[in-house]
């Protein structure tokens, strides 16, 4: 059982933790929005959290079971950043399937109308991939945790990324991409099958391009955390032209109040989805609807857990 003092502090803390939606980007800076509850004063929150954690572990030990994992991603060694044969197989194999579908579609371009349809499909795929990654990023940032079925690993990885954003720049390319290419490869195989059965040109071009861009978004994301001096000239040129998300554009997502610029392909959709303020954003409207219908509130409505403050990169720490 908790001590009387701990129970009193817990009751007082919960009574004061009322959800407060973000009101504007000019609001007082917050550190990192990955906690599901608000915190009182830092020292008191940490002390209470430590006592609650100790109590939880005592109960778990008494029941003969290990504490439930938090789902946080903590890298133990440099090996976790390297690409393996499996990683490369999924990335190269998935890319080959998508390229084959695209080639099948382009091979059936027989006139100006088909060429126009293929061009429009490619442009639509590019924009919709930007939209799709924005909504996915918003979802994993605000809902669920490392124990969530199916998406738990991605949720934990994105939370870990907010705490240690430089890690994504240290991953080898296939290591970074395979979590997306692995499930996408099954869809890519299906798309190649529909192409072989005579799917329209626009569908072959759109579907293969959209899937590839969504998978590659994680690498575009990594590049947006790197300095220009660390990037290939072609990538820098695409970022400068606004065709890939840049360090400047994505950097705004990692600053308080952490509720804008979720896109990680080009950033074209950010002005449309962010609106003029958090209150007018598409995300806030969805958050309110979800809260009203299911009673589930996003992490962005609360102050962050102090234990999830962004860390300094080891070599730059004072």
- Domain assignment present for residue 202? The answer is yes
- Domain assignment present for residue 255? The answer is yes
Q: What is the 3-state secondary structure (H, E, C) of 216-237?
A: HHHHHHHHCCCCHHHCCHHHHH
Instruction: Choose between 227 and 65: higher pLDDT.
Output: 227
- Is pLDDT above 60 for 318? no
Q: Which domain holds residue 221?
A: 78-297
Q: Which tokens go with 106?
A: 């382009």
- What would the pLDDT profile of 152-171 be if each residue is shown by its tens digit? 777 776 665 556 665 788 88
- Is pLDDT above 80 for 81? yes
- What would the pLDDT profile of 289-302 be if each residue is shown by its tens digit? 999 999 999 887 87
- Is pLDDT above 60 for 6? no
- Distance separating alpha carbons of residues 130 and 137, to the nearest angstrom: 11
Residues contacting residue 140 through CB under 8 Å, at least 6 positions apart:
151, 154, 155, 158
- Domain assignment present for residue 197? The answer is yes
Exposed, middle or buried by CB within 10 Å (0-12, 13-18, 19+), for 63? Answer: exposed
- What would the pLDDT profile of 145-157 be if each residue is shown by its tens digit? 878 887 777 777 6
- Is pLDDT above 90 for 42? no
- Domain assignment present for residue 172? The answer is yes
Q: What is the DSSP letter of 181?
A: H
CB atoms within 10 A of CB 72: 15
- Domain assignment present for residue 69? The answer is no
Q: What is the pLDDT of residue 315?
A: 57
CA angle centred on 243, ends 241 and 249, rounded to 5°: 85
- Distance separating alpha carbons of residues 142 and 20, to the nearest angstrom: 14
Q: CA 116, 236, 176, 303 torsion: positive or negative?
A: negative
Q: What is the pLDDT of residue 114?
A: 95
Residues contacting residue 152 through CB under 8 Å, at least 6 positions apart:
71, 144, 145, 146
- Domain assignment present for residue 280? The answer is yes
Side-chain half-sphere CA neighbours of 300 within 13 A: 30
Q: Across residues 267-287, what is the average pLDDT? A: 91
Percent of the chain with pLDDT over 90: 50
- What would the pLDDT profile of 56-67 be if each residue is shown by its tens digit? 566 555 544 443
Looking at the structure of the chain, the number of domains it has is: 1
Query: What integer best gives the mean pLDDT of the chain?
Result: 78
């Amino acid at each position: 059982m908790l001590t009387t003092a701990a129970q009193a502090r817990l009751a007082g803390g919960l009574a004061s933790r009322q959800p407060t939606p973000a009101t504007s980007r000019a609001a007082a800076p917050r550190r990192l929005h990955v906690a599901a509850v608000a915190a009182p004063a830092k020292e008191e929150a940490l002390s209470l959290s430590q006592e609650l954690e100790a109590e939880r572990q005592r109960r778990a030990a008494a029941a003969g079971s290990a504490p439930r994992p938090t789902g946080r991603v903590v890298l133990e060694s440099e090996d976790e950043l390297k690409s393996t044969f499996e990683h490369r197989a999924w990335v190269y194999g998935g890319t080959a399937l998508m390229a084959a579908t695209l080639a099948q579609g382009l091979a059936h371009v027989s006139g100006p109308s088909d060429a126009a349809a293929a061009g429009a499909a490619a442009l639509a795929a590019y924009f919709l991939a930007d939209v799709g990654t924005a909504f996915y990023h918003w979802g994993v940032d605000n809902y669920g945790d490392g124990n969530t079925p199916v998406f738990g690993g991605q949720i934990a990885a994105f939370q870990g990324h907010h705490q240690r954003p430089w890690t994504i720049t240290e991953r080898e390319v296939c290591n970074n991409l395979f979590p997306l290419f692995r499930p996408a490869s099954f869809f890519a195989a299906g798309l190649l099958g529909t192409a072989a059965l005579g799917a329209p040109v626009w569908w072959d071009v759109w579907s293969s391009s959209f899937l590839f861009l969504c998978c590659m978004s994680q690498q575009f994301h990594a590049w947006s955390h790197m300095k220009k001096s660390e990037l290939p000239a072609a990538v820098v040129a695409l970022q400068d032209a606004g065709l890939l998300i840049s360090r400047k554009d994505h950097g705004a997502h990692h600053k308080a109040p952490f509720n804008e610029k979720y896109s990680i392909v080009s950033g074209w959709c950010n002005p449309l989805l962010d609106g003029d303020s958090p209150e007018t954003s598409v995300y806030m409207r969805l958050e309110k609807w979800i809260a009203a219908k299911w009673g589930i509130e996003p992490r962005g409505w609360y102050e962050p857990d102090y234990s999830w403050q962004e860390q300094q990169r080891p070599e730059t720490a004072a």
